[in-house]
Amino acid sequence: MASYAAFIGHHPTISLAELSAVIPDFQIRRLLGKQVVVFESSADLSPTDLNLLGGTVVIARGLDPQPTNADGIPNALLAAVQDVKGKIVFGLRTQGLSPKKVSELYRSSKKLLKKSGRPVRYVGSELSPAPSVVLHTEDMLSGKHGAEIVALTGEGFFWIGRTIAAQDVDAYTKRDISKPVRDTTVGLLPPKLAQMLLNLGQWAARSANPALPEKLTVLDPFCGTGVIPLECLLRGWSVLASDLSPKAVAGSTKNIEWIRKEEKILKSEVPATVWKQDARKPFDFANGKPFKVKDLPHMVVTETSLGPPLTKRPPLKDIQHLKSENERLQIDFLTNIASSLPGVPVVCTWPAWYYSKGPIFLEKVIAAAEKLGFELVLPPGIQSPGDRPTLLYRRPDQFVGREIVILRPRVKVAKPVAPTPEVPAKVAVKPVKNAPVAAKKSDKKPAAKHHSAFHAKKKRK
pLDDT per residue rounded down to tens, the chain (461 residues): 999 999 999 999 999 999 999 999 999 999 999 999 999 999 999 988 999 999 999 999 999 888 889 999 999 999 999 889 889 999 999 999 999 999 999 999 999 999 988 899 999 999 999 999 999 999 999 989 999 999 999 988 999 999 999 999 999 999 999 999 988 766 689 999 999 999 999 999 999 999 999 999 999 999 999 999 999 999 999 999 999 999 999 999 999 999 999 999 999 999 999 999 999 999 999 888 889 898 899 999 999 999 988 888 889 999 999 999 999 999 999 999 999 999 999 999 999 999 888 899 999 999 999 999 999 999 999 998 889 999 999 988 889 999 999 999 997 644 555 554 554 444 444 444 444 444 444 444 443 333 333 233 333 33
**pLDDT value, residue 431:** 45
CA distances from 121 to 83, 100, 429 (A): 16, 19, 99
**Strand ranges for 188-271 from DSSP E:** 217-220, 238-243
**pLDDT value, residue 305:** 95
Contact in structure between 92 and 148 (CB atoms under 8 Å): yes
What does the chain come to in residues? Answer: 461
Cα distance from N-terminal residue to C-terminal residue, the chain: 34
Residues 222 and 280: their CA atoms lie apart, in Å, by 10
CA distances from 437 to 136, 213, 434 (A): 94, 66, 9
**pLDDT value, residue 309:** 84
Residues 332 and 155: their CA atoms lie apart, in Å, by 51
**pLDDT value, residue 104:** 96
CA distances from 266 to 29, 242, 248 (A): 42, 20, 23
Which residues touch 396 (CB under 8 Å, ≥6 apart)? none
CA distances from 434 to 300, 437, 438, 441, 458 (A): 76, 9, 12, 20, 56
Following DSSP, what letter does each residue of 437-453 receive, concatenated? PPP---SEEPPPP----
Burial (CB < 10 A; 0-12, 13-18, 19+), residue 429, is exposed
Residues 31 and 9: their CA atoms lie apart, in Å, by 14
**pLDDT value, residue 141:** 94
Q: What is the pTM of this model?
A: 0.87
**pLDDT value, residue 418:** 53
**pLDDT value, residue 207:** 93
